[in-house]
Amino acid sequence: MRILVMSDIHANYTALVAVLKEAGEVDETWCLGDLVGYGPDPNAAVEEVRDIKNLTCLLGNHDVAVIGRMPLETFNGEARRSLMHHEKVLSASNMDFMRSLPSKTKVRGEATMAHGSPRDPLWEYILNTLSARINFDHFDTPWCFVGHSHIQCLFALDEKTDRVSLEQVKPDITIPLHPKLILNPGSVGQPRDRDPRAAFAIYDTEARTWTPRRAEYNIAEVQERIRSAGLPEKHAARIAEGW
* Answer CATH for 2-241 from 2.160.20.60, 3.60.21.10, 2.60.40.1180, 3.40.50.300: 3.60.21.10
Which residues of the chain have a pLDDT value below 50? Answer: none
E strands along 7-152, which residues? 28-31, 55-57, 106-108, 111-113, 143-145
Mean pLDDT of the chain: 98
Over the stretch 55-72, which tens digit does the pLDDT of each residue have? 999 999 999 999 999 999
Q: What local confidence, expressed as pLDDT, does residue 68 receive?
A: 95
- Residue 154, burial from CB neighbour count under 10 angstroms (0-12, 13-18, 19+): buried
Q: Is the CB of residue 207 less than 8 Å from the CB of residue 194?
A: no
Q: Percent of the chain at pLDDT above 90?
A: 99
Q: What is the pTM of this model?
A: 0.97
State the Cα–Cα distance between residues 183 and 113, nearest whole angstrom. Answer: 10
Over the stretch 166-211, which tens digit does the pLDDT of each residue have? 998 999 999 999 999 999 999 999 999 999 999 999 999 999 999 9
Q: Is the CB of residue 5 less than 8 Å from the CB of residue 33?
A: no
